[in-house]
Amino acid sequence: MMFGLFRRKIRDFKIKTKIFISYIMILVFTLLMVFIIGSVVTIRETREKTLYSAEQVLNQAKSFLEFKTMSIKNILDIISSNEALLDILKRTPGDYRDNVGLWSIDAQGIDRAMFYTSTNPDIGRIQVYMDAGPASFLQSEDYLLLSQFRDEKWYGEFTAAGTKLQWFLGSEFSGADSEEATYISALRAIPSDTNIQENLGIIKTDIPIDIFQTILNQAVFTESSIVAITDEDGEVLCLSDNTGSLSGLDEIINELNGRRDTFETLKMQDKTVLAGMRDIAKTDWRLMMIIPNEDIVQIINESPKQLILIFLLIIPFSIPLALLISATITRPISRLIVKMRNVQGGNLDVEMLPAGNDEVGVLTKDFNYMLSRIDVLMNDKYAMGKEIKSMELKALQAQINPHFLYNTLDQIYWLAVKHHTPSISDLVLALSRFYKLSLSKGRDTVTIENELEHVKAYVQIQNVRYNDGISLTIDVPEEIL
């Protein structure tokens, strides 16, 4: 019911309106299809690009960290192999008791060995733990006797690891104050130059944790994402600033800790995250990036919003274009309608319309041909009317002339009777009968009887001329008369 009413309503619209509506419907349908298909493709591509970009950010942060740690490792390697330092660390307490000034000389020698640290602005304070050397005679803040720290947890972990270089939080060292807790310390064993299995001491350098935190902050991919450095046991060494934006961090780190160089989606109990992990070369560190899935979805949803904005900008420009196109298409039809109404009103003197080769042009050509044919037919009808009038006049004249002839012959006949001249009266009577039968009162067909009378009248007239020299015999059956 409603559909039928709608169809009737649409049917009554002008062609211009129908074309406009059709154009808008096609435009909206096209934009809708482009939006749907574009959104699907864009969402997929945006997700792939987002994951790729996040992975590249993680790899870049990994490269920065490796550059920092490797530069520190190289400096510590150079210092630990310094021959002057190795000689100093072999001295006994007796060497200093015999020569009190030797301690100051060795302290200066150690400072010279530490010169390379000045080339790296990331390195803070450097301490040397030793079994002999200057600390065995007199300790300072920079020269410490190693035997006093053998019971410390960090020393046990360092020796158990069996590697030359280890990293620790500054807070793991006994007596560390709040300032030292803001450092990450690198410990490097100083091997003996005569027995590589024997260590003469340990170099400890403090690197401000802010240096690593700056790298992590630069690697933060979204507002809620977190970047962290952990050790092989899963202990967090450093975090990006926005640590409070994600709950369940420990659970996610523990989940990642069993993986190697991964970048995948983790589905936890109450959340889904995109998590990546990279091993930092020459360390036991692991760089982790954790991005909530909500942030990825938010990034992906930005692309359809841009498509919607583009479509909203296209539609206002499309409406005037639709009106222009519909007006251009219907203008020839409107002109044709005006001409047809003029013809319908009786005005046949209208100018021929220009016609193209499209459907409207064909219709216009047919209309122009119709006008030309009407003009020809009107001229033919006018000429035919004149001819008919002329023929009617001639017919009237033809009717008037026989009557005049009959009246004249009748007048002669009665004059002949009056003057008693039967031969003249008979001739006039025969001539009168002859013409009457010839004209047949305008009929196209005559009877045989009338034709026979016509012949008799003709023979009678001729016999007057030839003194009855013509004999006429008529033998016609009665049934055909």
DSSP letters spanning 227-244: EEEE-TT--EEEE-S-GG
481/476 Cα distance (integer angstroms) = 8
309 vs 8, 24, 25, CA distance in Å?
36, 18, 19
323 vs 21, 320, 441, CA distance in Å?
10, 5, 75
Instruction: Convert 160-171 into a string of H (helix), E (strand) and C (coil).
Output: HHCCCEEEEEHH
Contact between 281 and 261 (Cβ < 8 Å): no
| Pairwise pLDDT comparison (457 vs 351), residue with the higher score | 457
Q: Which sign, positive or negative, has the C-alpha torsion 295, 297, 298, 303?
A: positive
Give the pLDDT band (50/70/90) at residue 135. Answer: very high
Q: Which of the given ranges, 154-163, 401-410, 470-479, has the highest pLDDT on average?
A: 154-163
Contacts of 110 (CB under 8 A, 6+ apart): 85, 88, 128, 134, 142, 143
Return the residue matching tokens 């220009």: 354
β-pairing verdict for 143-145 and 126-130: parallel
| Pairwise pLDDT comparison (32 vs 67), residue with the higher score | 67
Amino acid at 348: L
- pLDDT for 56 equals 94
Tokens of 366: 């047919």
- Residue 311 scores a pLDDT above 80: no
Amino acid at 66: E
Contact between 203 and 79 (Cβ < 8 Å): yes
Contact between 181 and 171 (Cβ < 8 Å): yes
DSSP state of 260: S
β-pairing verdict for 226-230 and 286-292: antiparallel
Tokens of 468: 């009855």
Give the pLDDT band (50/70/90) at residue 61. Answer: very high
Q: What is the separation of C-alpha 130 from the centre of its chain, rounded to a whole number of angstroms?
A: 71
322/314 Cα distance (integer angstroms) = 12
* Planar angle of CA 158, 73, 61, nearest 5 degrees: 105
pLDDT, tens digit, 9 for 90 and up, residues 65-74: 999 999 999 9
Question: To the nearest whole percent, how much of the chain has pLDDT over 90?
Answer: 24
- Regarding pTM above 0.75, the answer is no
341/330 Cα distance (integer angstroms) = 17
Q: 3-state DSSP: the chain helix, strand, coil percent, rounded to 5?
A: 65, 15, 25
Tokens of 226: 């977190």
Return the residue matching tokens 């409603």: 2
CB neighbours of residue 72 within 10 Å: 21
Whole-angstrom Cα Rg for the chain: 64
- The DSSP element (H or E) to which 413 belongs, if any, is helix 359-418
154/144 Cα distance (integer angstroms) = 15
Q: At what angle do helices 422-439 and 448-466 cross, to 10 degrees?
A: 140
pLDDT, tens digit, 9 for 90 and up, residues 381-437: 778 877 777 776 666 555 556 666 667 777 777 777 777 787 777 777 777 777 776
Contact between 222 and 243 (Cβ < 8 Å): no
